[in-house]
């Protein structure tokens, strides 16, 4: 092969070689409600940046405990504001890296049609035996469901009939399996192609504190190109479009 041909082939390969050299993994702790969006974002992120997302899911409270016990996460996508703020106070996160990536929406949902009415009146009638709820001490969506019951004045009616799940994913499983006829979940979990399967009431935002979901770079992610690339990507229009399509609002 002539020297100039070898040089031309090498130059053609250089962009790919450079991308491969920069490519890395970012270990992300993801609030369970955000499983669908992050799985949609991940392949686009990898294609656009060369970096790969390795995600672990759980309730925000569970993820916080894992981080404080040394879990090797580099970025946290929480389901609240307080947990990232707490990690910053603990010195376990990078100052200035916290931002709101999504604002969640709560729904009362049943996998069966016609169980939940569009105004949520079924909560006042108490027409079914159990109501599934993610543990309010660990999961912000569970706390929002509890606040909704209190705001409607029906908490006492349901208190003894609440089925507590470890996180919002398990709450969804309780309902979808029929172990609980209805319960509170995130809109993103039940929205399919812009429609809700089963029956649901989109809980008015005035009935519970805003579910502002914040991201933060953790200490292990400081200075890591893949971690920085992910938080920047989540602020970009491609990721925002996915987040909106999955049933979240975005901060103004």
Q: Which of 73-77, 122-126, 218-222, 230-234 has the lowest mean pLDDT?
A: 122-126
Average pLDDT over residues 235-243: 97
User: What pLDDT, on the 0 to 100 scale, is given for residue 193?
Assistant: 86
3-state SS assignment for residue 142: helix
pLDDT tens for 59-77 read: 999 999 999 999 999 999 9
Rounded alpha-carbon distances, angstroms, from residue 224 to 58, 63, 218, 239: 23, 20, 10, 20
3-103+211-245 — its CATH code?
Answer: 3.40.190.10
Mean pLDDT for all residues in the chain: 91
pLDDT tens for 136-190 read 999 999 999 999 999 999 999 999 999 999 999 999 999 999 999 999 999 999 9
Query: Looking at residue 219, what DSSP letter applies?
Result: G
Is the pLDDT reported for residue 11 higher than 90? Answer: no
Quick one: pLDDT at residue 128? 85
Backbone φ and ψ of 21, nearest 5°: -65, -35
| 8 A C-beta contact, residue 54 and residue 25 | yes
Residue 99, strand partner residues: 215
For residues 224 and 94, is the Cβ–Cβ distance under 8 A?
Answer: no
Mean pLDDT, residues 88-96 taken together: 97
Strands 106-110 and 182-186: antiparallel
If you compute the radius of gyration of the chain from its CA atoms, what whole number of angstroms results?
21
Helix (H) or strand (E) run with residue 240 in it:
helix 237-245
- CATH class in words for 106-202: alpha beta
What confidence tier does 22 reach under pLDDT thresholds 50, 70, 90? low
8 Å CB contact between 33 and 171? no
Q: What residues have CB less than 8 Å from 69, skipping those under 6 apart?
A: none
- CATH 3.40.190.10 intervals, the chain: 3-103+211-245, 106-202
Mean predicted confidence (pLDDT) in 192-196: 89
Q: Considering only CA atoms, which of 82, 80, 99, 79 is closest in space to residue 90?
A: 82
DSSP-assigned letters across all residues of 166-216: SSHHHHHHHHHTTSSSEEEEEHHHHEETTEESSEEEE--GGGS--EEEEEE
Give which of 95, 88, 31, 107 is closest to 62, Cα–Cα.
31
Please tell me what DSSP assigns to residue 50: S
β-strand pairing of 211-217 with 99-104: antiparallel
Give the model's confidence band at 126: pLDDT under 50 very low, under 70 low, under 90 confident, else very high: confident
pLDDT at residue 9 tops 70:
no
């Amino acid at each position: 092969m002539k020297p100039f041909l070898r040089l031309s082939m090498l130059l053609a390969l250089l962009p790919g070689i450079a991308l491969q050299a920069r490519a890395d993994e970012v270990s992300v702790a993801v609030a369970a409600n955000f499983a669908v969006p992050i799985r949609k974002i991940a392949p686009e992120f990898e294609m656009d940046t060369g970096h790969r997302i390795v995600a672990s899911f759980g309730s925000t409270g569970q993820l916080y405990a894992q981080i404080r016990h040394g879990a090797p996460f580099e970025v946290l996508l929480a389901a609240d504001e307080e947990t990232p703020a707490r990690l910053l106070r603990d010195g376990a996160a990078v100052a200035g890296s916290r931002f709101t990536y999504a604002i969640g929406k709560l729904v009362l949902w049943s996998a069966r049609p016609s169980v939940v009415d569009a105004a949520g009146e079924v909560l006042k009638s108490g027409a079914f035996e159990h109501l599934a709820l993610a543990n309010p001490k660990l999961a912000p969506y569970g706390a929002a469901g509890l606040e909704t019951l209190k705001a409607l004045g029906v908490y006492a009616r349901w208190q003894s009939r609440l089925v507590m799940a470890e996180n919002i994913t398990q709450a969804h499983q309780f309902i979808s399996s029929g172990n609980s006829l209805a319960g509170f979940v995130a809109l993103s979990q039940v929205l399919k192609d812009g429609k809700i399967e089963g029956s649901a009431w989109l809980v008015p935002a005035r009935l519970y504190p805003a579910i502002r979901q914040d991201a933060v770079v953790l200490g292990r992610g400081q200075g890591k190109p893949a971690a920085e690339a992910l938080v920047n990507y989540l602020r970009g229009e491609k990721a925002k479009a996915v987040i909106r399509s999955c049933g979240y609002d975005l901060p103004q």
